[in-house]
Amino acid sequence: MNLLLIRLIIFAVLFVAGLKLYRMYREWKLDRDGPDQGGDAQGNRMVRCRWCQVHLPEDDALRERGEWFCSGEHRDKYLSEQKQEQKEQDKED
């Protein structure tokens, strides 16, 4: 019984040490390779729609005034909301 317990403890120690070594290797490899550019399978950069927060490839997105949108509808909604806020801010001034 004591031998079984000793084997179990040794196995647990070896498992934890192996896991620690694997994590160190993975972090070293990420540091060596540099940060990921955040592209999809074709190498396109992913951007986030300003209106609905959905990520999509840059090639499929629309850009207006420095913001990204997934569709013309979301672009129009966002821009009309910005105009509303600007009018309200002008009224307050």
* pLDDT per residue as tens digits for the range 35-81: 555 555 666 789 999 999 999 999 999 999 889 999 999 999 999 99
DSSP letter at 56 equals: E
Cβ neighbours around 68 below 10 Å, total: 19
Q: Are 69 and 51 in contact (CB under 8 A)?
A: yes
Local confidence band at 91 (pLDDT 50, 70, 90 cut-offs):
confident
Q: 61: buried, middle or exposed (CB in 10 Å: 19+, 13-18, 0-12)?
A: buried
The gap from C-alpha 45 to its chain's centroid, in whole angstroms, comes to 12
Domain ranges, ordered by start, for the chain: 1-32, 46-92
Give me the mean pLDDT over the 16-21 stretch.
96
